Amino acid sequence: MTTRTEEVGPSGLASALITSGALRHDWLPAFGAVPRDMFVPDRIWPGIEDGTRQNPVVDRMKDPEGWFRAVYSDIPLTTQWDDGSHTGDGLGHTPSSSSSRPHMVFSMLKDLDVRDGHRVLEIGTGTGWNAGLLAHRLGEGNVVSVECDPVVAEGAGENLRTAGLSPRLVVGDGRKGHLPGAPYDRVIATCSVREVPRAWVEQTTTGGVIVTPWGTLYGGEAIARLTVQGGTANGRFTRSSAFMRLRQQRADRPPHGAYLKGRPWPADGSRGTTDLSPADVGGWVEQFAVGLRMAGAFWAVERYEDGAYTLWTYSTDTLSWASADYVPGADSFEVVQSGPRRLWDETEAAHLWWEGQGRPGFDRFGLTVDGDGQRAWLDSPDHPVPSAG
């Protein structure tokens, strides 16, 4: 059993983050002065590196060594479920607040590229650790952090005061930014969005930078680094990410029953086959690429004991659906489609386009946000991602 040593603690985590390239030497003083353990509650649910799963609760009062080991591991820690309505030790339905994976925290701060004197707006205070790091680096008066959950905000405030820091904390709707503190040289979100709020762009100085996780309704997510010029924010995605969605932009996905409308499958669907395996659209970047081309569509999986599953794709207007049956080892797969949108045909077209572009990763995609909305592009703003419909 690993004991509480220098290898399991701040020094060990710092060493790992420096080796990975996430933690730069200019952030080392803040890392040392604003320890993560001061910003983590007694009860946490440790995740894995990519944030896709939580492990059972670790209670500091019952297992202090396990708690300390989790805090100084390079993993995300869920700190709240279901907007606070879940209070038991088990897993809730939806994680709603966390302490982000340290590698991601410092990678995003590297993307933010702050300089002395910069004013920063943070969206999503969470436990307060990120706000504390920024306040130590830039000075308390140069950091404003907005949190929509009053209970989470109160906890963050207590953590920051204990650490001897007092950036400006605001309880409110993060989509609106915080106009009284504007303009900001940098804006950073610690929650993901599907639409970059216009207020963030308007409250950022010319030449300023917005760093935010951004994902499609369909799936996939990456960090967007946008530079603001003339009321337009434009830039590339820098790395994969997996953050909790901004609460006001959470998806309202209709239930399965809204589509078949009480009729047994295949209802009025038309049958066919496909050579595209449902497994080939399940990767994070594949979901991202497909989702860029399939607005208003989302998916769900129905799994079976033999490793087979059905990939369901739905339109948000409840008018269209498709099912694709995955069978291990098969070369072709049964598909059923219903409604005005042929959703599996769109999926195939989107995946074929992605393959035709050389299977691009996140760093070849970019985003433009202006008065007309937002547009994703590939390689250049002059090459917007086309719709698959």
Cβ neighbour number for residue 207 with a 10 Å cutoff:
9
3-state secondary structure of 77: strand
The dihedral over CA atoms of 281, 285, 289, 291, expressed in degrees to the nearest 10, equals 70
265 SS3 class: coil
Q: Are 214 and 239 in contact (CB under 8 A)?
A: no
Distance CA 75, CA 53 (A): 11
Closest CA to 52 of 355, 287, 367, 313: 287
CA nearest neighbour of 351 among 288, 296, 295 = 288
The answer to whether 100 is a known catalytic residue is yes
Marked catalytic residue, from 97, 99, 100, 338: 100
166: its two tokens: 């007092």
Q: Is 268 left (phi over 0), alpha (psi -120 to 50) or beta?
A: alpha
How many residues in the chain? 389
Strand partners of residue 309: 303, 326
Q: CA 35, CA 25: separation in Å to the nearest integer?
A: 16
Cα 250 from chain centroid?
11
Q: Alpha carbon 384 to chain centroid distance?
A: 22
Contact, 89 vs 97, CB < 8 A?
no
DSSP state of 253: P
- Which two three-digit tokens encode residue 126? 């969470």
DSSP labels, 13-67: HHHHHHHHTSS-GGGHHHHHHS-GGGGS-SEEEEB-TTSS-BPPPEETTT-HHHH
Q: Pairing between strand 120-123 and 184-189?
A: parallel
Catalytically active residues, by annotation: 100
